[in-house]
Amino acid sequence: MPAKSKAQQKAAGAALSAKRGDTPKSELKGASKEMVDSMTKKQLEDFAKGSAKGKPEHVDR
């Protein structure tokens, strides 16, 4: 399932970076900190991939 907003996509990308070991988990904030523990690497890849073009900055819940 791809992200529905640019913010979700950025958070998933940051969490994926930490999951791969490229970024320390201590540098994560907000949603990305929760995502890294609750999602698999495959889920994060699916969430982060795709174009951000045409997506809103944030989505209301």
Q: How many domains does the chain have?
A: 1
| Most distant pair of Cα atoms in the chain: their distance | 31
Identify whether 58 is part of a domain: no
The parent domain of residue 15 ranges over 6-48
State the pLDDT at residue 57: 85
pLDDT at position 43:
93
pTM of the model: 0.84
Is 21 a domain residue? yes
pLDDT, tens digit (0-9, with 9 covering 90-100), for 4-59: 889 999 999 999 999 999 999 999 999 999 999 999 999 999 988 888 788 888 88
Q: Is residue 57 situated within a structural domain?
A: no
Q: What is the pLDDT of residue 61?
A: 63
Q: DSSP letter at 57? A: S
CA distance 22 to 6: 21
Q: Which tops the pLDDT comparison, 49 or 2?
A: 49
What single-letter DSSP state applies at residue 21?
T
